[in-house]
Structure 1
């Protein structure tokens, strides 16, 4: 299969991730994999739509054909300015234009980059930041955590951090009360091959964070940016 049509790999959960569903995959040997990684990057898992920008268009989770959804209209306009410079890059990010289960009170942008693929390789976090900056796109919030040599300490650290609020101030979409972030994604800071993805990227998702149903797309709402809220309060 041509790289340009490959969707984002499914990220394996930590075994202690409570937000798994029946079709999720779990990395049972996660600690062995973690111990092989010299440097990690922990980032906040944002509650949006996984979108990919490449020279062929803007894609949602499926890469069968470019997406035409209403909530990617702004992103597709942005892509028009970038498409001729993308080359063999696939830029993956979280699109927060439509509100899902978490509403963010302090959004400054709608699209936050979390990964960049070049041909048969996932680029390092430093390269992800470079290309995001090159196209004037923000990256997902990074979470600074100490490196743990002990398996239990590492697990407790992730679980504890995931109880914190989002970098963008998260609220439950139904109750409008402050809520924890959706979860945490851990990745190898260095570049790695496509085949190594399941051993280099891990996620923790909190339990019962999903509040939407299959019909949410019929009644979706656009998320407000922080500057819009500032204007409204003046």
Structure 2
């Protein structure tokens, strides 16, 4: 199956470079481009991509607003934020808005195409240190009722998720099977009403369940 990608960036050169990298892969194809955030939703509705590479800083409608609009669609694509600086507050807000992860513009081509495959498969691009640093700049703690409904084992799994551990690594850490880990992760996402692991990790920080420090 060929994965369909839309590129949203206000710089022509960046879009052209990303298209060359993506179209060189046999299982990836660029089906559309948007030069600003306002154009993203129409392009997505027309081409129905699996993944959108979203520049976080664009004129008029930025990547945060565009990501939020995509997340509200009946069948939203996965969004990967592309940014220059990993400690950009825009990145954190885009992740809160529904992005599945982020990549730096200096990312190597092989890492870019693997990231597209990863999020298309339903996984998140977790960078625990970067998310922790961004979360540390926010003092407000909001109540999340779902946190109180986590079992002790689900709480353990969420803590390990905030460290960026994969399902296999969590299984090894807790000495349980992969299938059991998948069940716990699914329960955590459901109780926190999180669409993916990235959103669950952000919720864990924002609720005070774990401390950025």
TM over 0.5, shorter chain: no
TM-score normalized by the length of structure 1: 0.25
Whichever structure has more strand as a proportion of its residues is 1
Higher relative contact order (CA 8 A, sep 6+): 1
